[in-house]
Amino acid sequence: MPGVNNPPPPITTAAAQQKMAQERREDAGDLRRLVNEAHPPRASDLAELQSLQKTRKDRDDTDTTASLSETLKSKSREAGPRVVVREPKHLYMPQSPRSRAAAEAEQTDLIKEMFHEMGDIGLKPVVVYHNLSVPELYEHALKYEPSSHIVASGALATLSGAKTGRSPKDKRVVREPDSEADIWWGTGSPNYEMDERTFILNRERAVDYLNTLDRLYVFDGYAGWDTQARFKIRVVCARPYHALFMHNMLIRPTEDELHDFGLPDFTIYNGGAFPANRYTSYMTSSTSIDVSLKHKEMVILGTQYAGEMKKGVFSLMNYVLPKMGILSLHSGCNEGKDGDVTLFFGLSGTGKTTLSADPQRPLIGDDEHGWSDRGVFNIEGGCYAKAIGLKQENEPYIFDAIKFGTILENVVFDEETRHVDYDVSAITENTRASYPIEHIENAKIPCVGGHPKNIIMLCCDAFGVLPPVAKLTKEQAMYYFVSGYTAKVAGTEQGVTEPEATFSACFGSAFLMWHPTKYASMLAEKVEKYGAHVWLINTGWTGGPYGVGYRFKLRHTRAIVNAIHSGELGAAEYETMPTFNLQVPKEVSGVPSEVLLPVNCWADTENYNKTLTHLASLFTKNFVKFQDGGGHVTPEEASAILASGPTVE
């Protein structure tokens, strides 16, 4: 309108717009400077930012690298390879900000140096991952092993390769002057001999193979919870799965113990992904598991089944503990609220792991123990439970132990949900779970206890004629201990596809080093000295042999064990079972009386008697090889033991 002072129109020239944009940029720059002054950037690129995620303790690895280099040394060389414990620290966590290009340049220089030195394989630098934590081993397994997966429970499921069980016929023990008189050789022995030269050849083959790899895993741990009978074990392997397995199965050292570990007492070289040379002396296949007591070493070739390492350590302990006056035992062990200890002898599949895991009794261990003048102790730091058919309602402690840190071997799981189907045996019947003993809710740690009050010998009778429980005399205890009758369970060993009757001395013949009567005489001495009661429990079949009868119910077996612990069976009335002359209780709380004597469960009494006599003859025939006493009991003592066995007319 005329006469009204209107505001000037907005400036819209290009120059003015550029000026305003510049002012906004300057304001934004001022804001960024204020933010950066309050929160300065910690990294110049993504690589540096990722390096800030992890911290590493400053540790002096001088002694560790020297020890590892000595372990990896070829026998033909004066010095071992240069060992890098994990990645070089400056590549792992920069001390100051630097560019990715600088980091890559340093790494390139290191790789060039490594390839330059690879002309002599014995001196190739080796990156060794030493005693990695469980999360780190998970990461490595997932990164480097396509067969490794995290399942819904948090456990690590993996495959053991072509071998899904032990290969006992490929086990070799070096015949050496200092130990050959001690070792059980010959008929019935699991110890197939080899000479020292062949052992060195296989060791060199394994070490050369391991030294060609981009990375190795070493775990240093202990065997034996009794500190006066503890041995330092070193495991050198190529797979994170194997390192985690032995992390679970050995006793894990504290940081101070690891720092002072030094050289091991026994070393396992696991080159299982590389075959043995079939044309080498003493080889019968591409698999070889070799033990040298002189060199204090074990070599594994041609099998990636992790159980070979566990049982290799047990074989060692089966030799060295008796020399110390300590009885080594293939047994489970638990302890009651009053400190009463029970041992459970038995082979795989007899229920040793299941029955020793009792919610009312803290677990000392599930598989391997020593019995000294101080009491019993677990040899291992973990458990290796069969997983086939596992159900929470039947075995809650084992089921609940399967969580982060547990290895599940050869199981089948749903591709999407990652839930494991424990009933599926598509890969093998011998599916397994390896976990540290701390995963058992009521484990007793340290894993030591007093002298046993009860000793339970478990068997899995495939013929269906032995009673579910019998009380043994001292002589019968030695007889059934040396006999070690049970049935091989499908999948536990290569080539076994269904249960078959077998005798395994001391309930662990495959792992014995001394003659069985050595262990039996030590057992008899301790039973006598400490007043232990001995029982035979059959967890196998009744009402007929395997394929006709049925297996004893787990709840009935548990009721029998409870009656032993409560003292009920100590005060029970007994009757004698013919032929085997076993004392069988007339009643057990929670168990139908008719199943206590097997003849009552068979529809055909004549066939029962025939089968009973047949099994008795098998016992008698098996014991012939032990009747001379093996140099550890007198012929008279051996005769008394033999007389306590079944009678065959």
Residue 330 catalytic? yes
Nearest alpha-carbon partner for 245 in 225, 226, 217 = 217
Sorted by sequence, the CB contacts under 8 Å of residue 616 that are 6+ apart come out as: 579, 580, 646, 647, 648
Q: How crowded is residue 271: how many other Cβ atoms within 10 Å of its Cβ?
A: 24
Nearest alpha-carbon partner for 546 in 480, 497, 588, 591 = 497
Residue 432 catalytic? yes
Angle of helix 516-530 relative to helix 474-483, nearest 10 degrees, comes to 150
Residue 367 catalytic? yes
Q: Are 512 and 318 in contact (CB under 8 A)?
A: yes
Strand duo 327-335 + 83-85: pairing: unpaired
The identity of residue 30, as a single letter, is: D
Residue 348 catalytic? yes
Whole-angstrom Cα distance, residue 218 to residue 244?
10
Indicate which residue of 311, 451, 471, 515 is catalytic. Answer: 311
Whole-angstrom Cα distance, residue 502 to residue 190?
14
Q: Are 366 and 346 in contact (CB under 8 A)?
A: no
Whole-angstrom Cα distance, residue 351 to residue 468?
13
Whole-angstrom Cα distance, residue 187 to residue 164?
27
Indicate which residue of 292, 348, 406, 492 is catalytic. Answer: 348
Residue 323 catalytic? no
Tell me how long the chain is: 649
Chain centroid to Cα 324, Å, comes to 24
Q: In 394-436, which ranges are continuous DSSP H helix?
A: 396-401
Q: Are 395 and 383 in contact (CB under 8 A)?
A: no
Q: CA 579, 585, 587: angle at the middle one, nearest 5?
A: 140
Site of tokens 């049970």 = 486
Indicate which residue of 330, 471, 518, 565 is catalytic. Answer: 330
Indicate which residue of 98, 130, 140, 166 is catalytic. Answer: 166
Residue 353 catalytic? yes
Residue 292 catalytic? no
Residue 124 catalytic? no
Percent of the chain that is helix, strand, coil (3-state, to 5): 35, 20, 40
Long-range interactions of 187-190: CB distance < 8 A, separation 24+:
187/625, 188/505, 188/509, 188/625, 189/512, 190/509, 190/510, 190/511, 190/512
Residue 230: DSSP 8-state: -
Burial class (CB in 10 A: 0-12, 13-18, 19+), 97: middle
The identity of residue 213, as a single letter, is: L
Whole-angstrom Cα distance, residue 606 to residue 617?
17
Sorted by sequence, the CB contacts under 8 Å of residue 497 that are 6+ apart come out as: 429, 490, 491
Indicate which residue of 130, 171, 432, 444 is catalytic. Answer: 432
Reported as half-sphere exposure (CB side, CA atoms, 13 A), residue 423 has a value of 2
Indicate which residue of 352, 453, 515, 518 is catalytic. Answer: 352
Q: Which two tokens stand for residue 68?
A: 């590892």
Whole-angstrom Cα distance, residue 632 to residue 615?
27
Sorted by sequence, the CB contacts under 8 Å of residue 61 that are 6+ apart come out as: 85
Q: Which two tokens stand for residue 569?
A: 């069976």
Whole-angstrom Cα distance, residue 459 to residue 454?
16
Whole-angstrom Cα distance, residue 166 to residue 532?
33
Strand duo 341-345 + 550-551: pairing: unpaired
Active site residues: 166, 311, 330, 348, 352-353, 367, 432
